[in-house]
Structure 1
Amino acid sequence: MKRILAGLFVCTLILSGCHNLQGTRSDRITAYADNYEISGETKDEIIGTVHSAIFTTVDRSNKEAKRIYGPMPTKKGAKLTIEPGRYALMGHPSGNIYIYDEDDNLLLREIVGDKAGVSSLTADIDSTFTIFFDGGYNTVTIQPVKTELSTELTAGIWDVGLDIKPGNYSISIPYGYGFVQILEEGKDPQLFELLGGELTGSQSQVQLKEGQKVRVSKVSRVNFEPLIEQTGK
């Protein structure tokens, strides 16, 4: 009898454990089905390590920022450090652009060009950062950009409060595939998958708060449609 009871107790623990695991997975599946939000190990693999330097915001006046345009000097690519400012990084025909902090931590990587990838990569570039254009480019352009509020964000890093107003939004893309990350210092990032197309297109609802960063990746442009808040009479 003791053996039977012990066996039943072990089975109960196993079933209980399985139920909890299934519940966790079920919650993740439901969150994705309802809002296209990716979580768990898949999210960690896609986002990777979020280094503190990604929260850098430079002087948006761009007083020292200068436009740079020129041919790629070698087939191995080019590594540059530039004056601090907010820039759009572009190249022809297509290649990879990497941004590293002063400790050589990779902050951003994006395929950019007119043959493949997104059309540009926009970010705040500190004087301690390094930009690397790989050998896929014949020419590269580094263009200072002014700060203005918008509800259409291109690939790159954006500040809530400076580049887009805080609030509740529905996000979507007309075509293609990509991601939106919502980053906040000291908190777990959020990740939303974007699917374009009339039949397969997705829409997610997100809440943006002052001081957060929004990263748009693998897609050239995301539309943020403000949600109208309904108030009781």
Structure 2
Amino acid sequence: MKNIFRNGGMMLFVCVLVAGCQAKQTPATEQTVRYEQNSEVTGDEKEELIKSVNPAIFTTVDRNNREAQAVSVPVVPKSGKVLKLKTGRYMISGYPTGNISIFDSEGELILREIVGDYAGARSLTVSVEESYTIQADGGYDSVEVVLSPTSLLTELTAGVWEVGTDIQAGTYTISLDHGYGYLQILEKEKDTILYELIGGTIGRTESTVKLKMGQWLRVTDASLITFRPQNP
């Protein structure tokens, strides 16, 4: 907004700094800096996304799967299907798309993931105790539960993974080829670290993460996160 003053035949133009004349600058907070620099989600948004962490997410089982048994559910009723599995490491998938929920021995939710061909992740890999309950909702026509072998990986699908068992400790650059998703770095009695990832060619993000023994990783919403080791 400009005000015009006349003084001795001269016109003085004074620019008054109001909205629309100059953009107001807001100081960057630690939250916005951490997100802009490394796509790390912090503060209230992180608390809303993660909520409480069930200690059962840190479950370790015999990775040789000596007791584990695959399960096939060719028809899922509209009311959903409850599965009881032997102790082991499993990969769960379903068609077309629905929710897979895993509850501990007390009936408390450990995790819930959208899994299927049309939304969410293509599969869910988790360690399961025999006392756990797996709920597949009525969005599925069929559900497959297969044994998941263990090896050191640099690509992780949706699920829960242990540093040192499923992926080596170290520093990595993480990214998605397409879609979006989140990586949680969990450690007993410590605050969870959360990264948001966006794939594709426009708006694609990458984050640098440092993994160490004693940590667990949860990949959610994404079918596959690539971990590219950085040079030491």
Same fold (TM over 0.5): yes
| CA distance in structure 1 between the aligned counterparts of 2:135 and 2:186, rounded to whole angstroms | 23
2:46 match: 43
Alignment length, in residue pairs? 207
2:198 match: 195
Shift of 1:80: 1.4
1:46-70, Cα deviation, whole Å (9 max, x unpaired): 0111011110111101001111112
| Structure 2 gap segments, 5+ residues each | 1-25
The verdict on how the C-alpha distance between 1:63 and 1:28 changes in structure 2, with shifts beyond 3 A counting, is same
1:145 match: 148
**Contact 2:76–2:138 (8 Å) recurs in 1:** no
Q: Does 1:59 align with 2:62?
A: yes
1:205 match: 208
1:126-176, Cα deviation, whole Å (9 max, x unpaired): 111110000011111000011000000000000000000000001000110
1:78 match: 81
Shift of 1:199: 2.5
SS of 1:46 mapped into structure 2: helix
Equivalent residue letter for 1:111: I
Q: Does 1:94 align with 2:97?
A: yes
2:4 match: none
Moved more, 112-121 or 36-45: 112-121
SS of 1:54 mapped into structure 2: helix
68, 92, 96: which one aligns with 2:71: 68
**Contact 2:63–2:150 (8 Å) recurs in 1:** yes
Shift of 1:73: 4.5
Moved more, 71-80 or 124-133: 71-80
4+ long deviations beyond 4 Å: none
Q: What RMSD over aligned residues (CA atoms) do the two structures have, in Å?
A: 1.3
Shift of 1:108: 1.1
| CA distance in structure 1 between the aligned counterparts of 2:228 and 2:99, rounded to whole angstroms | 30
| CA distance in structure 2 between the aligned counterparts of 1:208 and 1:142, rounded to whole angstroms | 29
2:158 match: 155
Equivalent residue letter for 1:83: K
Equivalent residue letter for 2:157: T
**Contact 2:76–2:143 (8 Å) recurs in 1:** no
| Aligned ranges 1:23-34 → 2 under 5 Å | 26-34=29-37
**Contact 1:72–1:135 (8 Å) recurs in 2:** no
Equivalent residue letter for 2:212: K
| Structure 1 gap segments, 5+ residues each | 1-21
**Contact 1:72–1:78 (8 Å) recurs in 2:** no
**Contact 1:176–1:195 (8 Å) recurs in 2:** yes
1:108 match: 111
Shift of 1:74: 2.0
Equivalent residue letter for 1:134: D
SS of 2:223 mapped into structure 1: strand
By percentage of residues, which structure has more helix?
1
Moved more, 197-206 or 160-169: 197-206
| CA distance in structure 1 between the aligned counterparts of 2:76 and 2:45, rounded to whole angstroms | 38
Equivalent residue letter for 1:185: K
| CA distance in structure 1 between the aligned counterparts of 2:142 and 2:203, rounded to whole angstroms | 36
Equivalent residue letter for 1:218: D
Task: Provide TM-score, normalisation by structure 2.
Answer: 0.87
Q: Does 1:228 align with 2:231?
A: yes
2:180 match: 177
1:119 match: 122
1:10 match: none
Tell me the percent identity: 46
